[in-house]
């Protein structure tokens, strides 16, 4: 197989692997695609002319396995695979640039190209490192799978991190979702890639495939058990009202449209609850109030009155808005408003979107991309819990919901996770659905319910075992409200106790073993040579 053939096959496999993510959910195509990608990077045959002619067939097989894989340029092959994967999974990244197409539309293709190419560098580095440390078919395949999982863990942390479209997320609609309560999303990524590597460890695909299928069956049953809501104690927190105004992004900041949008949210908030139902908390989405906090007092008072009419006396309101401090710094914030219309608590978003909410390194010509004046928002100081009418909540604002380790930055376990977002930036095809799936993973990782309220959808309550009731959510592109019962589990998961340390230690131990093995072989070869 030539380099061109290998690169093309890797790109196709990467693109097929991305079909495991929402809105497709084709895990049955994604998993074999990962297997093909690992094979073509770590095992794929070198060009035939590199092999001596006239050798017996079994010698040719052994020689092909032993060829120095750098001659096949595995780093470039893996990079093409990553470009295919991230290009398909992340194609929604062009949507924010099309909100104001006349100004920013020209950047859209460059954003996708640079994002896919940049993220694929992690895969390329994993391939180069794996072939340098491992020799032989089986070791190269397994080493690439493990190091690629390490690269995905690294991708979630360096330069503030961007763990979108982790390989683990292809299992969102299967019982393997339950595994993240034990392993976390990075741990399930490691398991996924190692299983995908098993068919490549032997020259005959069948033995590895059988082992992969058996292991898959075991993980299936174990994950299914973790998702069984009957096995864990539940506590009733009360009812929450989710308000989805469905405001198109290009209209959100138009002054003549603001009163209409506000009236819509107030009307939805004031609608009477079902007879006999007491709603304790009303939640509006991210930046629902377009006025800064120091000017929003009258609107917050109206929201409190509307909540008292619809939800009942004593109901609180939570909404997103922007806040400006005395030094002139802007924050993307969330506030809780009491029945008296006064702000009780405020939380400032800690994990900001690079190039969207702030400009790294204060690059002058990119200032127009920032979501606030100057070079964008300022990050909040700490991840902390807030008191609400339904208990202690961990607040997440949009982007913060994609980070598996974000909750560990809080000092204590919350009663539930509160996620407000504005997915109007993500388009209507894949971005909002992928964002929703990641919130489901956060719920299962910690066995906590997630109250998710989005401007344009999808607004829903995700149960503490990751389920979304499709009959009681507000779908994409619709306005409305739902009153949902919120229950939580006081039983923490194994992952919530250990975090990502176990998977990090496993990857580092395997890397250390590969490095020591390579060094020992080098010393032995040097001794024989002398």
Which residues carry out catalysis?
286, 349, 398
Cis amide bond preceding 2, omega within 30: no
Nearest-angstrom CA–CA distance, 72 and 127 = 11
CA 42 centroid distance within chain = 27
Rounded to 5 degrees, what angle do the CA atoms 487, 492, 495 make? 125
**Separation between Cα atoms, residue 218 and residue 216, nearest integer Å:** 5
Residue 362 confidence (pLDDT)? 54
Element of type H or E holding 60:
helix 57-66
Please check the confidence at residue 529 and state whether its pLDDT lies above 50: no
- The predicted pLDDT at position 457 comes to 84
Write out the H or E segment, with its range, that includes residue 446: helix 431-446
At residue 54, the pLDDT reads: 56
* Cβ–Cβ under 8 Å, residues 238 and 390: yes
What is the rounded CA–CA span in Å between residue 253 and residue 290?
Answer: 7
Indicate the burial class of 230 (C-beta count within 10 angstroms; 0-12, 13-18, 19 or more).
exposed
Q: How far apart are CA 302 and CA 313, in angstroms?
A: 14
Instruction: Report the pLDDT averaged over residues 52-76.
Output: 58
Higher-confidence residue of 362 and 119: namely 119
Query: Is residue 30 within 8 Å of 22, Cβ to Cβ?
Result: no
Bond into 500 cis (ω within 30): no
| 231-490 belongs to CATH 3.60.110.10 | yes
Rounded-to-integer distance, Cα 89 and Cα 14, Å: 10
pLDDT at 65 over 80: no
Compute how many other C-beta atoms are within 10 angstroms of the C-beta atom of residue 62: 14
pLDDT in tens, 271-302: 998 877 889 999 999 999 999 999 999 999 99
Over residues 179-212, the pLDDT tens digits come to 999 999 999 999 999 999 999 988 888 888 898 8
* H or E, element range at 502: helix 501-529
Q: What is the pLDDT of residues 325-379, one digit of tens each?
A: 988 899 999 999 999 999 999 999 999 988 778 877 554 444 444 455 445 789 9
Alpha carbons 162 and 174: distance in angstroms, whole number: 24
| Residue 459 DSSP one-character state | B
Closest alpha carbon to 142 in 43, 32, 74: 43
- The pLDDT value recorded for residue 518 is 80
Q: Please report where in the chains the tokens 């009731």 appear, as a residue.
A: 469
pLDDT above 80 (res 487): yes
Residue 528 has pLDDT above 50, yes or no: no
- What are the phi and psi torsion angles at 394 (to 5°)? -90, 110
Q: What is the pLDDT of residue 72?
A: 65
Confidence grade of residue 501 (pLDDT, cut at 50, 70, 90): very high
Output the pLDDT for position 250: 86
**pLDDT number for residue 70:** 41
In the chain, ranges of CATH 3.60.110.10 domains: 231-490
Q: Distance between CA atoms of 456 and 250, rounded to whole angstroms? A: 12
Specify the pLDDT at position 19: 98
More confident: 319 or 137 = 319
Q: Which of 404, 462, 453 is nearest to 432 (CA)?
A: 453
pLDDT tier for residue 52 given thresholds of 50, 70 and 90: low
On whether the CB atoms of residues 424 and 414 are closer than 8 A, the answer is: no
Q: What pLDDT, in 10s, does the model give residues 235-254?
A: 999 999 999 999 998 888 88
Residue 76 CB neighbours (<10 A): 17
Question: How far is the CA of 279 from the CAs of 304, 309, 454, 455, 516, in angstroms?
Answer: 13, 11, 19, 21, 61
Helix (H, G, I), strand (E, B) or coil at 236: strand
What is the pLDDT averaged over residues 464-489? Answer: 89
pLDDT score of 125? 97
3-state DSSP assignment of residue 280: strand
The per-residue pLDDT of the chain, averaged, comes to 88
> Would you state the pLDDT for residue 135?
86
Q: What is the per-residue pLDDT for 114? A: 94
């Amino acid at each position: 197989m030539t380099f061109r053939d290998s690169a093309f096959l890797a790109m196709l496999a990467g693109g097929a692997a991305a079909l495991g993510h929402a809105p497709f959910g084709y895990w049955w195509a994604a998993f074999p695609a990962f297997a093909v990608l690992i094979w073509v990077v770590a095992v794929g045959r070198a060009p035939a002319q590199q092999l001596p002619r006239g050798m017996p067939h079994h010698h040719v097989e052994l020689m092909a396995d032993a060829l120095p894989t750098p001659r096949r340029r595995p780093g470039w092959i893996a990079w093409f695979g990553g470009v295919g994967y991230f290009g398909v999974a992340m194609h929604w990244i062009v949507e924010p640039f099309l909100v104001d197409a006349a100004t920013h539309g020209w950047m859209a293709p460059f954003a996708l190209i640079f994002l896919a190419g940049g993220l694929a560098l992690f895969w390329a580095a994993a391939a180069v490192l794996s072939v340098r440390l491992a020799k032989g078919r089986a070791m190269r395949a397994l080493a690439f799978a493990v190091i690629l999982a390490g690269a995905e863990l690294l991708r979630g942390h360096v330069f503030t991190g961007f763990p979108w479209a982790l390989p683990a997320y292809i299992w969102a609609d299967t019982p393997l979702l339950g595994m993240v309560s034990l392993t976390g999303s990075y741990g399930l990524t490691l398991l996924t890639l190692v299983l995908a590597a098993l068919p490549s460890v032997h020259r005959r695909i069948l033995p590895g495939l059988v082992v992969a299928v058996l292991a898959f069956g075991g993980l299936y049953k174990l994950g299914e058990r973790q998702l069984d809501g009957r096995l864990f104690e539940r506590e009733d927190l009360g009812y929450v009202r989710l308000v989805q105004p469905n405001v198109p992004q290009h209209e959100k900041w138009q002054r003549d449209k603001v009163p209409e949008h506000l009236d819509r949210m107030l009307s939805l908030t004031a609608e009477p609850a079902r007879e006999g139902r007491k709603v304790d908390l009303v939640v509006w989405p991210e930046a629902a109030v377009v006025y800064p906090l120091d000017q929003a007092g009258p609107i917050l008072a109206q929201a409190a009155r509307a909540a008292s009419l619809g939800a009942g006396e004593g109901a609180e309101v939570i909404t997103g808005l922007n806040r400006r401090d005395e030094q002139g710094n802007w924050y993307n914030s969330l506030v809780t408003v009491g029945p008296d219309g006064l702000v009780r608590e405020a939380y400032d978003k800690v994990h900001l979107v690079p190039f969207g909410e702030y400009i790294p390194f204060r690059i002058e010509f990119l200032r127009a991309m920032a979501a606030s004046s100057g070079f964008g928002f300022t990050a909040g100081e700490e991840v902390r819990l807030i008191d609400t009418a339904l208990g202690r909540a961990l607040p997440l604002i949009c982007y913060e919901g994609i980070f598996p380790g974000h909750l560990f930055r809080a000092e204590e376990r919350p009663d539930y996770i509160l996620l407000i977002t504005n997915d109007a930036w993500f388009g209507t095809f894949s971005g909002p659905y992928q964002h929703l799936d990641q919130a489901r993973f956060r719920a299962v990782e910690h066995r906590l319910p997630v109250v998710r309220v989005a401007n344009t959808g999808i607004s829903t309550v995700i149960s503490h075992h990751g389920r979304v009731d499709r009959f009681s959510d507000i779908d994409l592109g619709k306005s409305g409200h739902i009153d949902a019962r919120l229950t939580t589990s006081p039983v923490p998961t194994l992952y919530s106790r250990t975090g990502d340390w176990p998977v990090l230690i496993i990857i580092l131990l395997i890397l250390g073993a590969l490095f020591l093995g390579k060094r020992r072989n080098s010393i032995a070869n040097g001794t024989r040579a002398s």
